[in-house]
């Protein structure tokens, strides 16, 4: 079933994103929190929030002042820099194994010189928090989404995976 598959993907991500030592259980440090200065305890799980048209959110919103550095949540490569009506200025990053797309939206701006194809390291500044696209200007935040996909897929193709447990080191809710 879909739910089971997503849980398995989340577990795989935790393990492969962890340290090189083998035999480790899920590593809570697998994903960096992608906004500078934010602690795991400050994150709110907004995965199931309902949005316009009955869509569910399937991402996490991380509030922060405009201009706060946005950090790469893991190593990878910048696959697409894209501007859309909803997301505003966005970045799509792909994981080293090609199986995960990291989507950062409502950005104020990209790090100077950032380009498609660039390799980025976990924790590196890639952009700044904003309220572009359909974000409420009174609520600047990073909209951060994970898409489980296959190597060679389109840059925006995948099945959303809840980032919250992966960012906080907590297990997904049953």
Footprint on this chain of Zn ion (rule: CB under 5 A)? 59, 61, 143
Distance between CA atoms of 151 and 157, rounded to whole angstroms?
Answer: 11
For Zn ion, which is the closer residue by CB, 29 or 159? 159
Distance between CA atoms of 51 and 30, rounded to whole angstroms?
Answer: 29
For Zn ion, which is the closer residue by CB, 110 or 144? 144
Output the six-digit token pair for 129: 């928090």
- Measured CA distances, 99 to 9, 160, 161, 162 (Å): 9, 12, 12, 15
For Zn ion, which is the closer residue by CB, 56 or 171? 56
Element spanning 8, H or E:
helix 2-16
Residue nearest to Zn ion (CB): 143
Contact assessment for residue 102 and residue 92, using Cβ atoms and an 8 Å cutoff = yes
For Zn ion, which is the closer residue by CB, 59 or 148? 59
Distance between CA atoms of 59 and 112, rounded to whole angstroms?
Answer: 26
Work out how close the CB of 141 gets to Zn ion at its nearest, in angstroms, rounded to a whole number.
Answer: 7
Work out how close the CB of 151 gets to Zn ion at its nearest, in angstroms, rounded to a whole number.
Answer: 27
Work out how close the CB of 159 gets to Zn ion at its nearest, in angstroms, rounded to a whole number.
Answer: 17
Work out how close the CB of 136 gets to Zn ion at its nearest, in angstroms, rounded to a whole number.
Answer: 11
């Amino acid at each position: 079933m879909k739910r089971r598959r997503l849980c398995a993907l989340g577990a795989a991500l935790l393990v492969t994103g962890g340290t090189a030592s083998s035999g480790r259980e899920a590593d809570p440090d697998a994903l960096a929190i992608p906004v500078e200065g934010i602690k795991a305890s400050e994150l709110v799980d907004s995965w199931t929030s309902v949005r316009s048209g009955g869509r569910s959110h399937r991402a996490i919103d991380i509030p922060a002042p405009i201009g706060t550095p946005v950090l790469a949540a893991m190593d990878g490569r910048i696959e697409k820099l894209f501007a859309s009506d909803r997301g505003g200025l966005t970045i799509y990053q792909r994981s080293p194994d090609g199986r995960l797309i990291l989507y950062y939206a409502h950005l104020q701006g990209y790090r100077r010189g950032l380009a498609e194809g660039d390799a980025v390291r976990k924790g590196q500044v890639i952009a700044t928090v904003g309220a572009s696209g359909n974000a409420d200007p009174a609520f600047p935040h990073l909209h951060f989404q994970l898409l489980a996909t296959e190597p060679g897929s389109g840059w925006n193709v995948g099945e959303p995976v809840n980032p919250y447990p992966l960012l906080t080191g907590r297990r997904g809710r049953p």
